[in-house]
C-alpha cells in the first residue's frame, strides 16, 4: 500500500467525458488525477458525430482546431425509402457557435487528441491500468481505493471531489445504489465499421434507409472510415450476422462491394434509454454514460457527456477556490438533466421514423414527409423541433430576474478587439464576463468590483441576437451561459452572494 495522494478532483474513466473534464480542470489549475482501467485508447469507434456546441467546449481548452482536422463537417443528411429515394434531405443549420453545426468523427482519433491535450498539464496525473475498487464519501473529501493492475498493488487516493465518468455500467453508480431507470430495447443492432478503399456514390453523406424490411444507418466517418448499423431480425443468429458473408449480403444490397471497403469489425449491441435517479452523492458526481444513456439516432451520446463536463468543471473550480458555495454544485443536475431528457426524447422520435416496420404506415410516411418538406420553412422548423435542442437551461444557477436571455448560451461571432479579429470565447477566456452593446448598465460596478471583465461588443449579429432576447447587457458564466441580463436602461441583477473572482494562479483578479 502506497501513501495517500491528495487531489482537488479525481476523474474515474478516460473516455471523451473524462478526458474533456481533465482538460477543463487542468486548464483551471486544479490538481487532478484520472483513473482508467484500460492501458490505451479503446480502438473501436463508438460515437460518430458531434456538434458546434461541443466543439466550443473543446475550443475552450485549445483543441478545437486540431480536432477539426480529423472531422467531416457540413455533410448532407437524408432519410430514404426502400428504393433509396429521399423523402427528407437537409443539412443541419448552425446556431452561431463559430463551428460547423454537425460533423462526423472517428472516436479513437478524438480520444487520442483529448489525451494529448491532458498531457499539457503537469497538474494532471493519469493512472492507466488502475481500477477503482471503492469510493468513500467523507465530510470534507472522498477516499478512493485503487488497484494497480500492472503492478498488482493497492493505492489510496484522496480528492475533494470525484467525477465518475465510468460508462453505462458505472461501478461507481452501482456502489452508491443509484437507480438507472428507463428501458433497454429488445431489438439488437449490428454495427459494421469499415475502411474505405474506393469511394462510391453517396459515400459522403449520412443516410437513414427507412426500409421496413431492414432499416439501416449508413454513415460516413473521417480518416477513411465508414459505418453501417442495422437491426437483428426475428429468427436471425447474432453470431452468423457478424460474419463477413452476412455483412457482405447487406452491403452488396446497397451497391457496396469489397472493392469499396474493407470490413474492420462487426459487433452487436443494444439501444438504451436510461437516466440515473441522482447525479450527485455527497462529493461524487456522475457524468456521461454513467448518468444517462440514449439511442444513437441524433448522435448525442458522447456530446451529452462533454456538455456535462463543461457544466460541472467550472463550478467545481469555483467552489474549490472559495468563489462559490458548495450548494452551487446542485445546479449541475438541475441544469443538465432536463436537457438530456429532451435530447433523448427527440432521439427516440427520430428512431421511430427510421425503424417503422409497417409497410403501409411507411408508405404514408414517405409520401407525407416528401410533400411536406417541399413547403418553405418546414425543414428548418423540423430541425428546431426534432433535432438537437437549443442550449438553454430553464432553471439552475442564474439570477432571478424576468429576462428571456437568462439561461441561454450566447452565440460566438468573430469580433474586432484591439485591431485583431478573434472568436468571442477567445477574448473572454472562459471566465465571468459582462458584455453590453450601448451603454454600461446600472449595476455594472458591483460586478466589476469583484473582478468580472467588462466589454462593449458592437458586432451586429450579436447585438441583434441580444436585442431579440430582450437584453442590452448580459453577465456570462465561465461556460458561456447568461447568468444575468438587463434590457436597455434597466439595472443588472446583483452578483451571487460571496462571489469574488481569482485568476488561474489563485490571486485576486
Taking only the tens place, the pLDDT of each residue in 149-197 is 999 999 999 999 999 999 999 999 999 999 999 988 878 999 999 999 9
| Reported confidence tier of residue 254, pLDDT bands at 50, 70, 90 | confident
Measure CA of the first residue to CA of the last residue in the chain; give whole Å: 42
Task: With beta carbons less than 8 A apart as the criterion, state whether 114 and 72 touch.
Answer: no
CATH of domain 408-486: 3.40.30.120
> Per-residue DSSP letters for 88-112?
EEE-PPP-SSSS-SEEE--HHHHHH
Per-residue pLDDT tens digits for 314-359: 999 999 999 999 999 999 999 999 999 999 999 999 999 999 999 9
User: What pLDDT, on the 0 to 100 scale, is given for residue 502?
Assistant: 65
Q: Which of 211, 209, 210, 231 is nearest to 219 (CA)?
A: 209
- Specify whether domain 7-61+102-178+275-347 bears CATH 3.40.190.10: no
The more confidently predicted of residues 509 and 222 is: 222
**Burial annotation 99-137 (CB, 10 A radius, 16+ → b, else e):** bbbbbbbbbbbbbeebbebbeebeebbbbbebbbeebee
Mean pLDDT of 3-22: 94
Average pLDDT, the chain: 93
Mean pLDDT within 19-29: 98
pLDDT over threshold 90, residue 233: no
Spatial separation of the C-alpha atoms in residues 109 and 88, rounded to whole Å? 31
* 408-486 has the same fold as 7-61+102-178+275-347: no
Residue the block writes with cell 485583431: 420
Structure confidence at residue 507 as a pLDDT band (50, 70, 90): very low
Query: What phi-psi label fits residue 377: left (phi over 0), alpha (psi between -120 and 50 degrees) or beta?
Result: left
Coil, strand or helix at 215: coil
Annotated domain spans of the chain: 7-61+102-178+275-347, 408-486
Q: Are 414 and 404 in contact (CB under 8 A)?
A: no
∠ CA 278-282-285, nearest 5°, is: 55
Cell 473521417 belongs to 222
Whether the predicted pLDDT of 1 surpasses 50: no
pLDDT digits (tens, 9 = 90+) for 396-411: 999 998 899 999 999 9
Amino acid at each position: 500500500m502506497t501513501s495517500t495522494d491528495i487531489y482537488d478532483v479525481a476523474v474515474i474513466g478516460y473516455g471523451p467525458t473524462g478526458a474533456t473534464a481533465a482538460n477543463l480542470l487542468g486548464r483551471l489549475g486544479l490538481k487532478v488525477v484520472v483513473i482508467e482501467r484500460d492501458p490505451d485508447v479503446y480502438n473501436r469507434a463508438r460515437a460518430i458525430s458531434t456538434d458546434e456546441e461541443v466543439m466550443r467546449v473543446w475550443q475552450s481548452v485549445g483543441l478545437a482546431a486540431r480536432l477539426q482536422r480529423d472531422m467531416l463537417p457540413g455533410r448532407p443528411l437524408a432519410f430514404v425509402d426502400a428504393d433509396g429515394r429521399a423523402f427528407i434531405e437537409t443539412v443541419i443549420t448552425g446556431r452561431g457557435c463559430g463551428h460547423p453545426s454537425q460533423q462526423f468523427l472517428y472516436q479513437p482519433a478524438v480520444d487520442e487528441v483529448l489525451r494529448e491535450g491532458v498531457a499539457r498539464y503537469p497538474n494532471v496525473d493519469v493512472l492507466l491500468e488502475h481500477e477503482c475498487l471503492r469510493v468513500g464519501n467523507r465530510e470534507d473529501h472522498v477516499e478512493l481505493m485503487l488497484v494497480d493492475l500492472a503492478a498488482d498493488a493497492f493505492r489510496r487516493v484522496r480528492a475533494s471531489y470525484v467525477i465518475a465518468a465510468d460508462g453505462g455500467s458505472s461501478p461507481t453508480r452501482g456502489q452508491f445504489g443509484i437507480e438507472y431507470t428507463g428501458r433497454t430495447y429488445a431489438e439488437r443492432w449490428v454495427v459494421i465499421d469499415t475502411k474505405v478503399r474506393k469511394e462510391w456514390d453517396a459515400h459522403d453523406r449520412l443516410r437513414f434507409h427507412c426500409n421496413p424490411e431492414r432499416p439501416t444507418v449508413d454513415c460516413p466517418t473521417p480518416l477513411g472510415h465508414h459505418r453501417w448499423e442495422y437491426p437483428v431480425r426475428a429468427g436471425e443468429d447474432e453470431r452468423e450476422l457478424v460474419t463477413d458473408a452476412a455483412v457482405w449480403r447487406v452491403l452488396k444490397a446497397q451497391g457496396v462491394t469489397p472493392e469499396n471497403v474493407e470490413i474492420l469489425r462487426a459487433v452487436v449491441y443494444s439501444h438504451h434509454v436510461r437516466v440515473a435517479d441522482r447525479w450527485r452523492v455527497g462529493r461524487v458526481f456522475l457524468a456521461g454514460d454513467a448518468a444517462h444513456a440514449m439511442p444513437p439516432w441524433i448522435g448525442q451520446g458522447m456530446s451529452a457527456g462533454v456538455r456535462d463536463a463543461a457544466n460541472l468543471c467550472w463550478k467545481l473550480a469555483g467552489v474549490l477556490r472559495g468563489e462559490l458555495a458548495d450548494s452551487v454544485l446542485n445546479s449541475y443536475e438541475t441544469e443538465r438533466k432536463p436537457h438530456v431528457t429532451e435530447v433523448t426524447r427527440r432521439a427516440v422520435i427520430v428512431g421511430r421514423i427510421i425503424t417503422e416496420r409497417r409497410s403501409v404506415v411507411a408508405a404514408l410516411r414517405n409520401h407525407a414527409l416528401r410533400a411536406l418538406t417541399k413547403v418553405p420553412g418546414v425543414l428548418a422548423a423540423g430541425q428546431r423541433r426534432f433535432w438537437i435542442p437549443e442550449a438553454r437551461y430553464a432553471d439552475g444557477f442564474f439570477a432571478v430576474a424576468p429576462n428571456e436571455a437568462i439561461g441561454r448560451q450566447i452565440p460566438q461571432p468573430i469580433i474586432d478587439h484591439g485591431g485583431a479579429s478573434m472568436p468571442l470565447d477567445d477574448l473572454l477566456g472562459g471566465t465571468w464576463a459582462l458584455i453590453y452593446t450601448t451603454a454600461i448598465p446600472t449595476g455594472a460596478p458591483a460586478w466589476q468590483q469583484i473582478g468580472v471583465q467588462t466589454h462593449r461588443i458592437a458586432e451586429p449579429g450579436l447585438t441583434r441576437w441580444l436585442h431579440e432576447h430582450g437584453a442590452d447587457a448580459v453577465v456570462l458564466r465561465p461556460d458561456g451561459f447568461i447568468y444575468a441580463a438587463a434590457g436597455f436602461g434597466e439595472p443588472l441583477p446583483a452578483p451571487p452572494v460571496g462571489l469574488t473572482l481569482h485568476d488561474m494562479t489563485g490571486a485576486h483578479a
